[in-house]
């Protein structure tokens, strides 16, 4: 499945380069118009990143997110600074189908495990952003990629499998925002090792060829952000490419 992404700061559509708020590109698009355009192009799911809420949970853009969901044009998953049970409740209450949990899943595993048990694994996506060292070790970064947790992605997966983990959005930080192609070998290895998980690949996709190269990995979802906003290809083309056998 092709999953378009939209990053929001103060109601504006933006993109960050490798998670850096100091390297922000703002696009002159209305978020509701983007929802309508992507739905018309054939998207079934939209990935929303609330960057304002990620910095300050008191300023989460819930009213805007509710307005996007209210279009009822597709399904939605959303994250950005999810730190408490109330954050999860607020997004589910806004109509979001899946809440995307990042740093908290690393720093407070027991708490997040309770969310799985309370809300169900179908309603939570783990967002695991990883740095790969020269030995091939895959360590998860936290706090907007500013900290390396020293925790391996494998150990986290194994922990959350005990509470039914179903959805993982994995980003190779070195590729994010670069449009230099996804890390196909990474996703192929993860799908092969954990075939029961629905993997979403994110980071670096800049061409239809990059999408085509991900097919053999058997990931369930491909997140597209900057490439769509900059018109490198259309969402219709991306969906057709993914579906073409």
pLDDT, one tens digit per residue, over 112-159 is 999 999 999 999 999 998 887 788 778 888 755 455 667 889 999 999
Of the candidates 223, 205, 1, 213, the one whose C-alpha atom is nearest the C-alpha of residue 100 is 223
Rounded Cα–Cα distance for residues 24 and 167 (Å) = 28
What CATH number does the domain located at 2-243 have? 3.20.20.70
Token pair listed for 72: 């009822």
Q: What is the largest CA-CA distance in the chain?
A: 47
Residue-range domain boundaries for the chain: 2-243
pLDDT per residue over 160-203, tens digit each?
Answer: 999 999 999 999 887 766 678 889 999 999 999 999 999 999 98
**Bridging pattern class, strands 147-152 and 138-142:** antiparallel
Query: Which residues are identified as catalytic?
Result: 7, 129
pTM of this prediction? 0.92
């Amino acid at each position: 499945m092709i999953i378009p992404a939209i990053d929001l700061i103060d109601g504006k559509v933006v993109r960050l380069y490798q998670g850096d708020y100091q390297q922000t590109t703002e696009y002159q698009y209305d978020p509701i118009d983007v929802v309508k355009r992507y739905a018309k192009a054939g998207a079934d799911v939209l990935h929303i990143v609330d960057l304002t809420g990620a910095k300050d949970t008191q300023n989460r853009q819930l009213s805007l997110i509710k307005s996007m969901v209210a279009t009822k044009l597709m399904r939605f998953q959303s994250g950005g600074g999810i730190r408490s049970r109330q954050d999860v409740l607020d997004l589910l209450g806004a109509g979001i189908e899946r809440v995307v949990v990042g740093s908290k899943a690393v720093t407070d595993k027991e708490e997040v495990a309770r969310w799985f048990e309370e809300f169900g694994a179908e309603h939570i996506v783990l967002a695991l952003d990883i740095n790969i060292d020269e030995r091939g070790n895959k360590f998860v970064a936290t706090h907007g990629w500013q900290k390396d947790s020293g925790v391996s992605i494998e150990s986290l997966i194994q922990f959350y499998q005990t509470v039914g983990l179903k959805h993982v959005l994995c980003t190779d930080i070195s590729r994010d925002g670069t449009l230099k192609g996804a890390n196909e070998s990474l996703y192929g290895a993860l799908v092969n090792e954990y075939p029961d998980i629905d993997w979403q690949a994110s980071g670096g996709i800049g061409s239809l060829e990059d999408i085509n190269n991900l097919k053999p990995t058997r990931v369930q979802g491909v997140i597209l952000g900057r490439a769509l906003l900059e018109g490198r290809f259309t969402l219709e083309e991306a969906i057709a490419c993914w579906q073409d056998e």
